[in-house]
Amino acid sequence: MSRDFYTQFILPYVGIIIKICRAYTDNEEDFQDYYQEVCLQLWKSRDNFKGESKWSTWVYRISLNVSLSLLRKDKKISKKSVELPAIEDKVEAASDPFQDESLKMLYQAIKKLSEVDRAIILLYLEEKSYQEIAEIMGLSPINIGVKINRIKKKLKTLLHGKVY
């Protein structure tokens, strides 16, 4: 991967890639793997980008697809190897390296959501329009609106009413 490609097409979106990868991983090693795989897939898929949507939309789509497919693969492997405790128990405060306590708690709550809900709320929090979220997720904008309201309610419950 050339430095130019990284600087021009990945670096401006590093923030969102990190946020997405963090939302789907529970430890630093997995996070690094997911991040590298996303960058690699962005580089490999660069010729498939036809410019029909914004490059940022492409980045979100690839990041989510890669994270979801790696997560499913990891789940399969862990199911095969040993019976692990529920995912909720694995999500610990130490897994997210954020300084801000409220942000750390919010991330833990987000990780307790379903895979798709996690993707939708991440895009919403990144201030993407319903239209853009719908485009990335392959759903209708109305559906997205309904889902976001439900997810926000779920998050409120998970955060024990500490935020609203």
Partner 1 sequence: MEKSIENIWKEGFEAETKLSAPAIANFYDKKSKLITQKINKRTKKDNLSLLPVALIISAILVFMGEFFLAIYNAVLIVALFFANKKMLRDLNSINIQDNTYYYLLNYKKQVKKIIKSSTLIAGLGFPMVIIPAYWVFFQDTKVMIKLQEMDSILAMMLVAGLALFFSIVAISGYKLSNKMMYGNLLERLESTIEDMEELMKD
Q: Do the Cβ atoms of 24 and 34 come closer than 8 Å?
A: yes
| 1 touches partner 1 by CB under 8 A | yes
Taking CA atoms, 147 is separated from 6, 61, 136, 150, in Å, by 34, 18, 14, 5
Give the CA-trace dihedral at 145, 149, 154, 158, to 10 degrees.
110
User: Which residues are CB-contacts of 54 (< 8 A; sequence separation ≥ 6)?
Assistant: none
User: Which residues are CB-contacts of 141 (< 8 A; sequence separation ≥ 6)?
Assistant: 130, 131, 133, 134
| 125 touches partner 1 by CB under 8 A | yes
| 60 touches partner 1 by CB under 8 A | no
Binding segment for partner 1 among 52-60, 81-89, 91-99, 132-140 (CB under 8 A)? 91-99
- Neighbouring C-alpha atoms within 13 Å toward the C-beta of 46: 12
Query: Minimum Å distance from CB 152 to partner 1?
Result: 7
| 44 touches partner 1 by CB under 8 A | yes
Nearest to 136 by CA among 47, 67, 34: 67
| 30 touches partner 1 by CB under 8 A | no
Pick the binder of partner 1 from 20, 62, 106, 133 (CB under 8 A). 106
Pick the binder of partner 1 from 14, 87, 93, 94 (CB under 8 A). 14
Pick the binder of partner 1 from 76, 100, 149, 150 (CB under 8 A). 100
Alpha-carbon 76 to chain mean position: 19
Pick the binder of partner 1 from 7, 12, 27, 40 (CB under 8 A). 40
| 103 touches partner 1 by CB under 8 A | yes
User: Which residues form the interface with partner 1 (CB under 8 A)?
Assistant: 1-2, 5-6, 11, 14-15, 17-19, 31-33, 35-36, 39-40, 43-44, 97-100, 102-103, 106, 125, 152, 155-156, 159, 162-164
